């Protein structure tokens, strides 16, 4: 293989795929990036056997070929090269990277050892505006489970009907749902995509990418954005019937300025972090929300936030981290807090927008 390409394009391509490589791989080649010529371009791929990512960059191809190179070292060599153009040449399993001021030789592994990234035969395809897709991921992904006790909860449910696409994530303690209106009528779809895959997609979306294409086939999904595609297995299992736990009536509601509530919670966090993250919210007076935290051996604080309350007074406790993460995901200036009672899930919704819901379970209040 012999080719030349710009440093900027090569760096972007290597950065795109290198995050998928395994730091402690079961096979040495899984720590490598596949580099191969294809249809007048340079193809870069990486996989951890669960996720595969491929991108193509423009290059001047002098000789066809393919090789795999260590991802970390490849990235460092390219990122620390300030020359405009880099030449790549392969001899046996050694890659030479040469430019005006740099000359390096990098030992690789034969491309024949690189695992095949399967092609997804499209059974159902959907196209979504890229920035809306990114926003939806960012607004729900934090609510997915981190541990794999229940694997299905480590994913994000993507569900469509004729008009809407819903993104839902839950770790059984809180739940986030985002709805996107489809510009074109879509088919019926319900899949669970690993949260890690969608986080990578969100990271790769920039203003230059207009559309994201989802292609579904049996137990796989291919997500295409520009010249990059990710392929992943779908998670098997039944996602919780979350609609059943969303309150349909409320005894108390309060409208609060979101920045002020976040400010109050961050102040309460000084003590909440030493009391298992517990914070108490009290709506006793008509236009006052108090946010209180107590650490047994350190002290306590109380922050007052102006609000507009409807319904009965209430005293309820939450994990402060869950509240802050939910509020950070909401873009609106004001939020509505809706409560049934101190033992039932509470809703945190943006005021003036019906496309997002955040549900959080309360903690047990001390007697």
Q: 297 and 216, same structural domain? A: no
Which of 211, 242, 273 is at the close of a domain? Answer: 242
pLDDT of residue 165: 92
- The answer to whether residue 87 sits within a structural domain is yes
Residue-wise pLDDT for 239-250, tens only, equals 999 988 888 888
> 201 with 133, same domain?
yes
Q: In the chain, how many domains are there?
A: 3
**Contacts made by residues 64-67, CB under 8 angstroms, sequence distance 24+:** 64/1, 64/37, 65/1, 65/2, 65/36, 65/37, 65/90, 66/1, 66/34, 66/35, 66/36, 66/37, 66/111, 67/1, 67/34, 67/35, 67/36, 67/93, 67/95, 67/108, 67/109, 67/110, 67/111
Q: Is 328 left (phi over 0), alpha (psi -120 to 50) or beta?
A: alpha
- Give a yes or no: residue 365 inside a domain: no
> Tens of pLDDT along 219-229?
899 999 999 99
The pTM is what? 0.90
In a domain, 367, yes or no: no
Domain end point (choices 225, 242, 259): 242
The verdict on residue 339 lying in a domain is: yes
**Domain match, 232 and 251 both:** no
In a shared domain, residues 233 and 257? no
Same domain for 25 and 129, yes or no, is: no
As a whole number, mean pLDDT of residues 80-87 equals 96
Q: Which of 242, 257, 277 is the last residue of a domain?
A: 242
Which residue did the predictor score with more confidence, 68 or 122?
68
Q: What is the mean pLDDT of the chain?
A: 92
Distance, in Å, from the CA atom of 216 to the CA atom of 232, rounded to the nearest integer, reads 10
Tens of pLDDT, residue by residue over 144-203, are 999 888 999 999 999 998 789 999 999 999 999 999 988 776 667 899 999 999 999 999
**For residue 225, is it within any domain?**
yes
Residue 118 within a domain = no
- Cα 278 from Cα 261, distance rounded (Å): 16
> What are the structure tokens assigned to 346, written together?
């509470």
Cα–Cα distance, 223 to 229 (Å, whole number) = 5
Contact of 266 with 254, CB cutoff 8 Å:
no
Same structural domain for residues 70 and 54? Answer: yes
User: For residues 201 and 212, is the Cβ–Cβ distance under 8 A?
Assistant: yes
Same domain, 308 and 351: yes
* 141 shares a domain with 238: yes
271 with 351, same domain: the answer is: yes
CATH code (residue 310): 3.10.150.10
pLDDT of residue 186: 63
Is residue 233 located within the same domain as residue 267? no
- What does the pLDDT look like over 54-68, one tens digit per residue? 999 999 999 999 999
Pairwise CA distance, residues 153 & 145, whole Å: 5
Question: What residues make up the domain containing 339?
Answer: 246-360
Domain contains 366: no
pLDDT digits (tens, 9 = 90+) for 297-324: 888 899 999 998 999 999 999 999 999 9
Same domain, 201 and 265: no
Q: Are residues 159 and 225 located together in one domain of the fold?
A: yes
């Amino acid at each position: 293989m012999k080719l030349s390409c710009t440093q900027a394009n090569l760096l972007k391509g290597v950065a795109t795929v290198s995050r998928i490589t395994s730091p402690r791989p079961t096979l040495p080649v899984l720590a490598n990036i596949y580099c191969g010529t294809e249809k007048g371009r340079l193809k870069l791929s990486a996989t951890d056997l669960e996720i595969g990512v491929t991108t193509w960059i423009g290059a001047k191809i002098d000789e066809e070929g393919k090789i795999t190179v260590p991802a970390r070292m490849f990235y460092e060599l390219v990122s620390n090269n300030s020359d405009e153009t880099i030449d790549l040449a392969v001899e046996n399993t050694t890659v030479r990277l040469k430019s005006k001021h740099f000359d390096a030789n990098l030992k690789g592994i034969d491309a024949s050892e690189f695992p095949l990234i399967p092609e997804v035969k499209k059974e159902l395809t959907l196209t979504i505006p890229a920035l809306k897709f990114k926003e939806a991921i960012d607004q729900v992904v934090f609510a997915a489970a981190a541990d794999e006790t229940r694997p299905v909860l480590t994913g994000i449910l993507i569900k469509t009907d004729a008009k809407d696409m819903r993104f839902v994530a839950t770790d059984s303690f809180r739940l986030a749902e985002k709805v996107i209106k489809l510009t074109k009528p879509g088919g019926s779809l319900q899949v669970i995509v690993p949260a890690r895959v969608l986080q990578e997609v969100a990271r790769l979306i920039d203003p230059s990418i207009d559309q994201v294409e989802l292609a579904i086939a049996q137990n796989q999904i291919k997500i295409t954005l520009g010249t990059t595609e990710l392929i992943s297995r779908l998670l098997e299992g039944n996602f919780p019937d979350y609609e059943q736990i969303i309150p349909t009536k409320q005894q108390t509601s309060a409208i609060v300025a979101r920045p002020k509530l976040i400010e109050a919670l961050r102040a309460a966090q000084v003590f909440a972090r030493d009391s298992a993250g517990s914070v108490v919210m009290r709506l006793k007076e008509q236009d006052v929300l108090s946010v209180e935290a107590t650490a047994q051996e350190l002290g306590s604080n109380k922050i007052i936030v102006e609000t507009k309350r409807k319904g009965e007074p209430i005293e309820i406790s939450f994990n402060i981290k869950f509240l802050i993460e939910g509020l950070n995901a909401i873009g609106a200036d004001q939020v509505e807090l809706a409560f049934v009672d101190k033992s039932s899930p509470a809703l945190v919704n943006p005021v003036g927008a019906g496309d997002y819901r955040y549900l959080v379970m309360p903690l047990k209040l001390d007697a």
